[in-house]
DNA sequence: ACGCTCGGGACGACCCGTTAAT
DNA sequence: ATTAACGGGTCGTCCCGAGCGT
């Protein structure tokens, strides 16, 4: 039992060390030696827990995906104004990035790995899809309650997800990982977009013709 | 002269082949052999034009940054309603991604490389900054003309940039690089956000307290 | 005492497991993990009994050499026709290989290890020498008793040893370790060779010239 | 053309260097660096010609098997006394080992590798089989011509092969690879064995009972 | 006290970026 | 501009030892 406990703890420690290296330097550029050093043990030690770099990576991703699922697939309470709920969701999703540069880098790391492994990409898409449907649910409620302007909830949800991912990109770009916008500001603007009346039709049609 | 012309052409061909590999597999995972194969010549042949992998990479990035600067640092005409201008800007920035998966992947590649080389990160920040200031200019004009709701132009510009980057992320995630939202839809929503009245103060304040 | 007894038993079990691996895969290719698995305990467990792979190997070889010495350095009874004795010797030496593929493989393993360690080679030569001198003794007696054709007993003994080793080689080559010749057949032929009149001189001389 | 010629030459050089290492130290214990050093080039140089150690090994074995086939599958002339032919065959097969320690070691190396790879073992069996059938042919002729005592040609051929392999074993055991018996002596004794009258029946039966 | 778990170096194959020669 | 070759470095893995649990 204690053994099991210790094993898990050590594996967790290795995973977190490896994750730190991965988000900073990418998968291919990260060497086992770096991970070992970061984890405070030797290459052989790592090999005792993980038979291969790829397997370590897979397990890390598994863990991260699970964690994100759990964190993101949050069931919003129904007895709250939809705009409040949506703002809280945004804060929840973006808040973790504040003060934790690696959190934002993780996001952009996930995106950058997507083109390479199809299995990986599938998982990431599933995750995005969950995020999107959570938003879509709240937005739909908001539209029903006349808190949000009428429109396609799916499309609007995609917009919000864009904002969240985009913020992660900008944070990953910053040397210290700071957000260019506070989570609250992002939330406000998202709500603002949703509240707004839909633009007049001809504007978009004109646009297309112009381009 | 012809020699020079041919050389440039060949270098361009190598760069574009290398770029294709880079955005798909990342810098570290891309081997010179892959690049050579993609470019249709031998490994040694690359060295005739580029002394090192790193230099090839640098020159590619140089080229890409210049291209993006040129494409993005577009001077919006002043005799046009600000909302129209902004929509056209968004189309300009996002349109290239439509039907060109590698374009979106390039964006996420740039973001993923940022944490690694500081010089690289600086350039990317400069680019983002240009993008942001272009948007900020238009938004400021829109606010003056009462087309957009009053607010901080910089903040709103950051929001728009977030949307653009976020869309690139989602496109990079898609197996065929398709956009989950048409450029026109993104543009409409951006304009919608900017037109909207600012949300009532207490909402955001309450949010902070709740969290 | 019981402790001692158990220890020896366990060591014996390890040695026999290791020997099985060795003759099948060779020294360098045999890993401690394989041996441990074959012996039914863990890698560390082996280390408890043997400080090093090399020492385990040495001890195994020691044991095997002793066993072979004991088995081979058999004192032939003097009151028996030399041809009978010789046949019994051959049966003794070859009989163990019948139905025991590893026995033949051990022989070829010993031979294949000889070029590598000089100490090892010395032991093997000593063993061969014992074998040869036992045969030589019997053959000499046979020549005195006119049972065998006159000649150099040492040379004839070497011939018989060749046959024995050669049979081991052929058995080691067979997938199931079967002998291509029964021990009895080998014995018969050995005796036949020894009984035969020496060939006429000029044939061999001619041979040399021809070649 | 010259290119091809050079390539083959270099590959041949690598193969022969590798073979020298292999027969001395075995497959598993031989490192690529050793081979490279022996061949007079670097690790990478080897890799240019052979993508993997295993492939290099396979090609070497291929070459060796072919060479041995060619050398051994020799068509004995029919207008020569069978005993002469047989002696010449033995000289042909054993003569190469004289003064060439590696030749004998190769033989024992082949035998020691047989238990490991089944494909390899099959080839070795095929080779032995060729050798045996060549001998069997000559022996049969000898029996027809009353030069050899009547008996089973296959069995007698196996005996001769045993002698050859056995001599190789003994040579491989010797520090300098010397043969304990000259090829001529071996040939003489083989012929002697074949010429001899078959032993009386009851001897072998008695033997079996004794055992 | 025995035995395994855990960890440390070390090394091998493989492969990559790079250069010299042609 | 291609072929041939080099050496460095990574991953996987092996042999071995020390400490901890039973």
Alpha helices, DSSP H, located in chain C: 2-25, 32-39, 43-49, 53-72, 82-95, 101-113, 118-144, 153-173, 183-195, 201-210
**Do D142 and C80 form a contact (C-beta atoms < 8 A)?**
no
Q: Do A207 and B163 touch (CB under 8 A)?
A: no
Q: How far is the CA of D43 from the C1' of F9 (A)?
A: 13
C 116-145 near D (Cβ less than 8 A) = 116, 118, 121, 124-125, 128
Tokens representing A93 are 């999703």
Measured in angstroms, the CA of A83 and the nearest CA of chain B are apart by 9
Distance (Å, rounded) from C-alpha D155 to C-alpha A164? 84
Q: Mark the ranges of chain B whose per-residue pLDDT is less than 70.
A: 1-3, 197-211
Q: Say what the pLDDT of residue B7 is.
A: 82
**Do B46 and B32 form a contact (C-beta atoms < 8 A)?**
yes
CA closest to C1' of E22 belongs to D3
Contacts of B175 in chain A (CB under 8 A): 118, 121
In the block, residue with structure tokens 């690694």: B116
Nearest-CB residue to B166 (from A23, A114, A164): A164
Give the tens place of pLDDT for each residue, A165-198: 999 999 999 989 899 999 999 999 999 999 986 5
Distance (Å, rounded) from C-alpha B134 to C-alpha C162? 93
Q: Say what the pLDDT of residue B3 is.
A: 60
Q: How far is the CA of B191 from the C1' of F5 (A)?
A: 61
Measured in angstroms, the CA of C83 and the nearest CA of chain D are apart by 9
Give the tens place of pLDDT for each residue, A12-33: 999 999 999 999 999 999 999 9
pTM > 0.95: no
Q: Cα(first)–Cα(last) distance of chain A, in Å?
A: 67
Measured in angstroms, the CA of A4 and the nearest CA of chain B are apart by 36
In three-state secondary structure terms, B40 is coil
Q: Do B28 and A29 touch (CB under 8 A)?
A: yes
Q: What Cα–Cα distance (Å) separates residue A208 from each residue in A113, B92, C149?
A: 34, 12, 112
Distance (Å, rounded) from C-alpha C157 to C-alpha C137? 9
Contacts of B84 in chain A (CB under 8 A): 203, 206-207, 210
Give the tens place of pLDDT for each residue, A35-85: 999 999 999 999 999 999 999 999 999 999 999 999 887 777 778 999 999
Q: What Cα–Cα distance (Å) separates residue C148 from each residue in B182, C78, C151, C166, D181?
A: 103, 16, 9, 23, 20
Q: Among all residues of chain A, which has the CA nearest to that of B195?
A: A196
Instruction: Tell whether A209 is within 8 A of chain B (Cβ).
Output: no
DSSP percent split of chain D into helix, strand, coil, nearest 5 = 75, 0, 25
Q: Say what the pLDDT of residue B2 is.
A: 60
* Mutation for B interface: A165, A175, A179, A186, most B CBs within 10 A: A165
- The three-point CA angle A163-A168-A173 to 5° equals 125
Q: For residue B146, is it left (φ>0), alpha (ψ between -120 and 50) or beta?
A: left
Q: How far is the CA of B31 from the C1' of E17 (A)?
A: 9
**Do D156 and D194 form a contact (C-beta atoms < 8 A)?**
yes
Contacts of C188 in chain D (CB under 8 A): 199, 203-204
Task: Using the CB atoms, write b or e for A99-118: b if 16+ within 10 Å.
Answer: eebbbbbbbbbbbbbbbebe
What dihedral angle (degrees, nearest 10) is formed by the CA atoms of D93, D96, D101, D107?
-30
Distance (Å, rounded) from C-alpha A109 to C-alpha A57? 12
**Do C154 and C209 form a contact (C-beta atoms < 8 A)?**
no
Q: For residue B177, is it left (φ>0), alpha (ψ between -120 and 50) or beta?
A: left
Q: Do B166 and A163 touch (CB under 8 A)?
A: yes
In the block, residue with structure tokens 């829109």: B142
Q: Cα(first)–Cα(last) distance of chain B, in Å?
A: 67
Between chain A and chain B, how many beta carbons pairs sit less than 8 Å apart?
A: 212
CA closest to C1' of E11 belongs to D31
Q: Say what the pLDDT of residue D2 is.
A: 59
In the block, residue with structure tokens 């050995």: C190
**Do A160 and A71 form a contact (C-beta atoms < 8 A)?**
no
- D149: DSSP letter: -
Q: Say what the pLDDT of residue D141 is.
A: 94
Instruction: Tell whether A208 is within 8 A of chain B (Cβ).
Output: yes
User: Which residues lie below 8 Å from residue A117, measured CB to CB, with a gap of 6+?
Assistant: none
CA closest to C1' of F10 belongs to A31
Contacts of C168 in chain D (CB under 8 A): 169
Q: How far is the CA of A77 from the C1' of E22 (A)?
A: 76
In three-state secondary structure terms, A56 is helix
Please check the confidence at residue D138 and state whether its pLDDT lies above 80: yes
Distance (Å, rounded) from C-alpha B132 to C-alpha C43? 62
Q: Do C112 and D114 touch (CB under 8 A)?
A: no
**Do C148 and C142 form a contact (C-beta atoms < 8 A)?**
yes
- B51: DSSP letter: S
Give the tens place of pLDDT for each residue, D93-120: 999 999 899 999 999 999 999 988 888 9
| CA quadruple D42, D48, D51, D55: dihedral sign | negative
Longest CA pairwise span in chain B (Å)? 70
Please check the confidence at residue D1 and state whether its pLDDT lies above 80: no
The neighbours of chain A, by the rule of 3 or more Cβ pairs under 8 Å, are B
In the block, residue with structure tokens 């808190």: A147
Q: How far is the CA of C128 from the C1' of E18 (A)?
A: 55
Residue D74's closest CA among D99, D93, D97?
D93
Task: Using the CB atoms, write b or e for D44-61: b if 16+ within 10 Å.
Answer: eebeebbeebeebbebbb
In the block, residue with structure tokens 């031989």: D30
Distance (Å, rounded) from C-alpha A168 to C-alpha B178? 21
Nearest-CB residue to B193 (from A95, A105, A193): A193
Confidence band of A4 (pLDDT split at 50, 70, 90): low
Nearest-CB residue to A162 (from B23, B29, B166): B166
A3-19: average pLDDT: 86
In the block, residue with structure tokens 């000889």: C114
Q: How far is the CA of A49 from the C1' of E9 (A)?
A: 17
In the block, residue with structure tokens 């990342």: B26
Q: Say what the pLDDT of residue A206 is.
A: 42
Instruction: Tell whether A111 is within 8 A of chain B (Cβ).
Output: yes
- For strand E, the positions having any atom within 7 A of a protein Cβ are 2-21
Distance (Å, rounded) from C-alpha A211 to C-alpha B88? 8
Residue C161's closest CA among C124, C198, C195, C197?
C124
D165-184: average pLDDT: 94
Q: What Cα–Cα distance (Å) separates residue C8 from each residue in C2, C12, C45, C49, C87?
A: 10, 6, 14, 10, 36
Q: Among all residues of chain A, which has the CA nearest to that of B189?
A: A193
CA A88 to chain CA centroid, nearest Å:
16
C 35-74 near D (Cβ less than 8 A) = none
In the block, residue with structure tokens 């070859």: C94
Q: Do C161 and D166 touch (CB under 8 A)?
A: yes
Instruction: Tell whether A148 is within 8 A of chain B (Cβ).
Output: no
Q: How far is the CA of C65 from the C1' of F15 (A)?
A: 26
Give the tens place of pLDDT for each residue, C168-192: 999 999 988 899 999 999 999 999 9
Backbone Cα Rg of chain C: 20
Q: Say what the pLDDT of residue D118 is.
A: 87
Measured in angstroms, the CA of C3 and the nearest CA of chain D are apart by 37
Nearest-CB residue to D204 (from C111, C115, C188): C188
**Do C111 and D172 form a contact (C-beta atoms < 8 A)?**
yes
**Do B188 and A203 form a contact (C-beta atoms < 8 A)?**
yes
Distance (Å, rounded) from C-alpha B14 to C-alpha B20? 10
Nearest-CB residue to B114 (from A172, A181, A204): A172
Q: Say what the pLDDT of residue A197 is.
A: 61
Q: What Cα–Cα distance (Å) separates residue B15 from each residue in A110, A210, B21, B104, D184?
A: 26, 33, 10, 18, 71
CA closest to C1' of F18 belongs to C44
- Mean pLDDT (chain D, rounded): 89
CB atoms within 10 A of CB A184: 18
Nearest-CB residue to D108 (from C108, C192, C206): C108
Q: Say what the pLDDT of residue C82 is.
A: 93
CB atoms within 10 A of CB B89: 22
Q: Among all residues of chain B, which has the CA nearest to that of A206?
A: B84
Give the tens place of pLDDT for each residue, A121-164: 999 999 999 999 999 999 999 999 999 999 999 999 999 999 99
Contacts of B125 in chain A (CB under 8 A): 173-174
What dihedral angle (degrees, nearest 10) is formed by the CA atoms of B81, B82, B83, B88?
100
CA D179 to chain CA centroid, nearest Å:
14
**Do A140 and B163 form a contact (C-beta atoms < 8 A)?**
no
Tokens representing B168 are 């690139």
Instruction: Tell whether C176 is within 8 A of chain D (Cβ).
Output: no
Confidence band of C201 (pLDDT split at 50, 70, 90): very low
Distance (Å, rounded) from C-alpha B96 to C-alpha B90? 10
List the single range of B172-176, C21-25, C70-74 with lowest mean pLDDT.
C70-74
Q: How far is the CA of D44 from the C1' of E18 (A)?
A: 12
Backbone Cα Rg of chain B: 20
| CA quadruple B54, B58, B63, B65: dihedral sign | positive
């Amino acid at each position: 039992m204690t053994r099991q406990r210790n094993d898990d703890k050590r594996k967790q420690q290795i995973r977190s060390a490896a994750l730190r290296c991965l988000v900073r330097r990418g998968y291919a550029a990260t060497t086992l030696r770096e991970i070992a050093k970061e984890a405070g043990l030797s290459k052989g030690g790592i090999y005792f827990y993980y038979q291969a770099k790829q397997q370590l990576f897979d397990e890390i991703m598994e863990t991260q995906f699970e964690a994100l699922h759990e964190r993101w697939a949050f069931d919003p309470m129904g007895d709250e104004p939809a705009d409040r709920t949506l703002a809280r969701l945004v804060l929840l999703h973006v808040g973790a990035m504040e003060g934790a540069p690696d959190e934002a880098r993780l996001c952009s790391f996930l995106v950058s790995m997507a083109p390479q492994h199809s299995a990986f990409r599938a998982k990431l898409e599933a995750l995005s899809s969950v995020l999107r449907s959570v938003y879509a649910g709240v937005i739909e409620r908001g539209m029903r309650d006349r808190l949000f302007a009428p429109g396609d909830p799916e499309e609007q949800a995609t917009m919000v997800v864009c904002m969240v991912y985009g913020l992660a990109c900008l944070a990953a770009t910053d040397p210290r990982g700071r957000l260019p916008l506070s989570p609250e500001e992002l939330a406000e603007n998202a709500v603002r977009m949703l509240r707004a009346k839909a633009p007049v039709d001809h504007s978009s049609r004109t646009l297309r013709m112009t381009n």
